[in-house]
Structure 1
Amino acid sequence: MIEELEQHYGYLFEEELLHEINQVGTFKEVPEGYRLMDIGEYIKSMPLLVSGVIKILREDDNGDELLLYFLERGDTCAMTLNCCVGTKKSEIRAIAETPAKLIMVPVQKMEEWMRKYHSWRNFILQSYHARLKEMLETIDTIAFMKMDERLLKHLRDKAMVKNDEVITTTHQEIAHDLHTSRVVISRLLKTLENEGKIELGRNSIKVIDL
């Protein structure tokens, strides 16, 4: 695990902190679709993402989901940090968008390292800032963009985080992420294809207009 830490977090953390993470952290490898965290659970550890992509979702009273943001390599989740500090139940759902490797750090170390390591404190504060910015962007997208614009942005974001112009997904999965119906998504996807911005395949979408 120390090799993964040095490779992906060595430029951020002091060597002493890297060794502490190696001692107390737990390495975890999960497949695509794996549910890492669910709404209502108490959080016992926070993730440091080594590889892969994790999507963070919220849920309304009817059980419908809304995608908040993606986590990529080198990221952690601000919503997780918030629950860790306040010893509260999780308000988000975290699902592996791709196969992923993570290092799970016990929450008890959070405040200790905030006091002990300048690099850890900076990392946590920058993570809060980055995730807040992404959530504000999500709010702006919902408030100010038409659904076809939201859909194209969503497809571009997925292609970028996966580093692949071809996305493997279903219309229903996209509808869940964007909090709308499959019928609406299917109609808008066909429109985007007719405009030459995407190519539709069987459970796949190629994003041409990146």
Structure 2
Amino acid sequence: MREQLREAYHFIFEKELLEEIAKVGVLKSVKENEKIIEIGDFVTSMPLLLEGAVKIMREDQDGNELLLYFLERGDTCAMTLSCCMGQTKSEIRAVAEMDTQLIMIPIKKMEEWTAKYKSWRNFVFESYHTRLSEMLDAIDAVAFLNMDERLLRYLKDKAKINQNETLQVTHQQIAYDLHTSRVVISRLLKKLELQNEIKLNRNNIRLLRL
């Protein structure tokens, strides 16, 4: 775990903080599509990603999901930080985009490290800023982009996160993430294929222009 931690965060945290994280952190491995945090859970620790990726979702009153942003190696979730600091229930759902490894940090260490380490303070503030910008982008996409534009943006983001231009994802899963119907997604995917943006195969979608 120490080596993975060093590789992912050595450019962010000083050696002394990395040692403290290794001592108190709990290594957690999750499989693709496994829930890490559920809406309504009390958050007792915050995640630091070592490898893999996590998608952060919101849910409306009807149970429909909306993708807010992705987390990659070297990231943490600002929404989780907020719940930790306020000792409130989670308002997001965190799901592994692929097989993922995290270090879970106890809440009690957050305040201590904020006072003790400048690098930790900077990391927390930068995480808030980055995630807020990504949430605003998600809101802008819903408010101002057509669904076909949102779909293409989603596919490109997903390809970047997975580091693969070929995506193993169903039309129904895309519909869940974009808060729409499978029929709409299937129609728009066909439209994107006619525009030579993607290639639809039996079990995957391949982006032709990243």
Query: When the two structures are superposed, what TM-score results if normalisation uses the length of structure 2?
Result: 0.99
- Residue matched to 2:127: 127
- Residue matched to 2:35: 35
> What fraction of aligned residue pairs are identical, expressed as a percent?
59
- Residue matched to 1:97: 97
Give the ranges of 4+ consecutive aligned residues of structure 1 lying more than 6 Å apart after TM superposition: none
- Residue matched to 2:84: 84
- Residue matched to 2:45: 45
What RMSD over aligned residues (CA atoms) do the two structures have, in Å?
0.6
1:73-106: CA deviation from partner (whole Å, max 9, x where unpaired)? 1000000000000000000000000110111111
- Residue matched to 1:194: 194
1:26 aligns with 2:26: yes
Q: How does 1:159-170 map to 2 (within 5 A)?
A: 159-170=159-170
Q: Structure 1 CA distance, aligned partners of 2:172 and 2:94? A: 18
- Residue matched to 2:179: 179
- Residue matched to 1:136: 136
The Cα of 1:14 is off from its aligned counterpart by 1.2
Unaligned runs of 5+ in 2: none
1:13-33: CA deviation from partner (whole Å, max 9, x where unpaired)? 111111110110001111101
Q: How many residues end up aligned between the 2 structures?
A: 210
The Cα of 1:182 is off from its aligned counterpart by 0.3
Q: Structure 2 CA distance, aligned partners of 1:14 and 1:68? A: 30
1:102-153: CA deviation from partner (whole Å, max 9, x where unpaired)? 1111111111100010000000000000000000000111111000000000
Unaligned runs of 5+ in 1: none
The Cα of 1:56 is off from its aligned counterpart by 0.2
- Residue matched to 2:147: 147
1:24-70: CA deviation from partner (whole Å, max 9, x where unpaired)? 00011111011000000000110000111100000000000000000
Q: Secondary structure at the match of 1:62?
A: coil
The Cα of 1:203 is off from its aligned counterpart by 2.9
Q: Structure 2 CA distance, aligned partners of 1:118 and 1:62? A: 42
Q: Secondary structure at the match of 2:68?
A: strand
The Cα of 1:157 is off from its aligned counterpart by 0.4
